[in-house]
Amino acid sequence: MASAAAEFSGVSKAFTARGDAPAIENFDLRIEEGEFVCLLGPSGCGKTTALTLLAGFDRPSSGSVLHRGRPVAGPAADRGVVFQGDDSLMPWLTATENLLLGPRIRRVPLGEQRAIAERLLALVGLVGHGDKYPRELSGGMKQRIQIARVLANEPDMLLMDEPFAALDAQTRTHMQDELVRIWSEARPAVLFITHDVHEALILADRVVVMRAGPRSAVRTAFNVEAPRPRDRSDPRIAAAYGEIQRVMAEEFRRARQ
């Protein structure tokens, strides 16, 4: 069998310093090359923990996390992370400088850097805003810069931790459409965390629902067959929404107990 873009097998992660029960236990998940997977679940169910392990920011307590068949040894440019808030942008750098940080780290020649910046600013719709500092950009624009700075490294995998959670509904819808468009061009594998069922259905090839934590793992998964770009009123989306919402409601109830 060809190696997957990413594969969690029997992964557990306990934060020993806190002495709590493991956040995730026996967590299994396989993400194929080019596949868009949304991870859904009630807050505190270990979604971010799983993403953090695949990003290489942290190590599993047991089990294995593979990226393209090789164990994750640490963070690297082939797995781009889009963080939840906007605090990961460097406030002392302009939008362009922020998105060129990866190429700068790889010592890409300056001429090429200019071309990368131009192409990506156009791709994320920020032409004319390159010289602004993060504090001068709206929330949606800052998340575009985050996406652009990750794409500048041409990762084969995108790890997105509720990247649109802080945006207003209008901007969020727009960003979802933009993300689908960008993803269709570069086709990286995506692990996208959200607690918004609608968002998952608009974006994902497969929606994976986690159980309430602690000791969380995958509860069930749904394939989304509707073609892209998806219409939010598509009856197939509406039907899947009802089904996933029912499972989610159960897990939310369990999370409260």
List residues binding another protein (CB under 8 A): 55-57, 74-77, 79-81, 83, 85, 87-92, 101-102, 104-106, 135, 149-150, 153
Rounded to a whole number of angstroms, the minimum distance from the CB of residue 106 to another protein is: 6
Q: How far is Cα 13 from Cα 24, in angstroms, rounded to an integer?
A: 6
Decide whether 90 or 238 has the Cβ nearer to another protein. 90
Decide whether 80 or 188 has the Cβ nearer to another protein. 80
Q: Write out the E strands in the chain.
A: 6-13, 24-31, 36-40, 62-67, 70-71, 79-82, 157-161, 189-194, 206-210, 218-223
DSSP 3-state of 37:
strand
Decide whether 153 or 176 has the Cβ nearer to another protein. 153
Decide whether 42 or 102 has the Cβ nearer to another protein. 102
Q: How far is Cα 217 from Cα 201, in angstroms, rounded to an integer?
A: 20
DSSP 3-state of 62:
strand
Rounded to a whole number of angstroms, the minimum distance from the CB of residue 174 to another protein is: 24
| Tokens standing for residue 102 | 């990866």
Decide whether 44 or 85 has the Cβ nearer to another protein. 85
Rounded to a whole number of angstroms, the minimum distance from the CB of residue 52 to another protein is: 9
Decide whether 56 or 213 has the Cβ nearer to another protein. 56
Q: How far is Cα 2 from Cα 34, in angstroms, rounded to an integer?
A: 13
Rounded to a whole number of angstroms, the minimum distance from the CB of residue 94 to another protein is: 13
Residues 86, 134 contacting (CB under 8 angstroms): yes
Rounded to a whole number of angstroms, the minimum distance from the CB of residue 150 to another protein is: 8
Q: How far is Cα 37 from Cα 60, in angstroms, rounded to an integer?
A: 21
Q: Integer distance in angstroms from the first to the last C-alpha of the chain?
A: 41
Rounded to a whole number of angstroms, the minimum distance from the CB of residue 243 to another protein is: 34
What size, in residues, is the chain? 257
Tell me which amino acid residue 232 is.
Answer: R
